[in-house]
Amino acid sequence: MTVALQSTNPTLADWMKSLAPDGSVLAAANLLAQTNEILEDMVLQQGNLPTGHRMEVVTGLPEAYWRSYNMGLPPSKAVTAQIDEQIGMLGQYSRVDKDIADLNGNTAQYRTNKDRVHIEAMNQGMANGFIYGNPANDSREFMGLSTRYSSLSADNAQNIIDAGGTGSKLTSIWMVVWSPSTVFALFPKGSKAGLEIKDHGEQTVYDENNNPFQAYQRYYSWKTGLAVQDWRYVVRIANIQMDPSKPDFIGNTGGQDLLKLMSHALDRPNNLSMGKPAFYMNRSVFGYLRTQSLDKSNNALSVNDAVTQFGTPTKWLSYQEVPLRKVDAILNTEQQIV
């Protein structure tokens, strides 16, 4: 099996590069990808609605008939359903006292350094949405992966692999095959893609006592959603037991068991070449698996040289040529999926 890191399908960085010749928003995309590796792989498409994306999904295949010579066939058609995917809007303001920003004589650099904290907050909020977003709990959120793959008795349960853990000290590994015909991220019709930063410059703002002062202000906004066109191209390895006494370590599910479960996950999609597959896990699981790659007797994991979509040389860990990615939004305190 050969898995290509690069793809002709546009990613977040591709869209942002096309919108900012000066490279400013590309730099923001690079910062986001440094702390949330799902953005390296995510295929991005413009929605066909101002607030989301309407799509038709196949829920049943057309009937096929046997025939003999001189015998006609009745027409058949697929059973389909129309689904609207919702887009969520994440935003925040950054304000810094003008006199503080001007103290060191390099106001622009000071404000850029402050940007990193806000970009990280936006990054974590969006990553949490992609994994755990649930409009039933908060109507402003889009639907994340965990909400879609949450029951071992659901119609898509064949793509939920039970690792056997119990209780509430659990985590998951996800495998997603990204493409416009399988799974992709959205941005609203007619809008800009990715994180948008608007510099409002110097503003008169007010403290907690409603007294005015001068401050520099920026507005951060990010409008996006998740579309699952074909549910067979997402696999969840759920109920991975964490060690209750050491929450950063795997519990009674050993490394070899995880690799076997990941092998089963690779067999669930019909065809991995339909898109760009990748495994997603939190830092605890990634670190545990990475130690397996240091064992010379275990050649299932490999370290590969590659170039990111930002043109930066990097190394990435893979299992059967599918990249392993860190997503810190994936919790070690998930509830058991039953």
* Residue given tokens 């997503």 in the structure block: 327
With 80 as the cut, is the pLDDT of residue 18 above it?
no
Per-residue confidence (pLDDT) for residue 322, from 0 to 100: 93
Q: Give the Cα separation of 280 and 172 in Å (integer).
A: 9
- Compute the mean pLDDT over every residue in the chain, rounded to the nearest whole number: 80
Question: Do residues 32 and 42 make contact, with C-beta atoms less than 8 angstroms apart?
Answer: no
Per-residue confidence (pLDDT) for residue 299, from 0 to 100: 65
Question: Do residues 325 and 40 make contact, with C-beta atoms less than 8 angstroms apart?
Answer: yes
Kindly report, residue by residue over 281-315, the tens digit of the pLDDT: 998 899 888 876 666 556 677 777 654 554 554 56
Q: Which band of pLDDT confidence, cut at 50, 70 and 90, is reported for residue 23?
A: very low
In the three-class reduction of DSSP (H, G, I as helix; E, B as strand; rest coil), residue 243 is classed as strand
Per-residue confidence (pLDDT) for residue 314, from 0 to 100: 58
What is the mean pLDDT of the segment spanning 1-30?
48
Q: Give the Cα separation of 66 and 319 in Å (integer).
A: 42
Q: Give the Cα separation of 26 and 195 in Å (integer).
A: 10
Question: Do residues 88 and 129 make contact, with C-beta atoms less than 8 angstroms apart?
Answer: yes
Strand 276-281 and strand 322-326: pairing?
parallel
Tokens coding 52: 């989301």
Kindly report, residue by residue over 121-177, the tens digit of the pLDDT: 888 888 899 999 999 999 999 999 999 999 999 989 999 999 988 888 899 999 999
Question: Do residues 120 and 34 make contact, with C-beta atoms less than 8 angstroms apart?
Answer: no
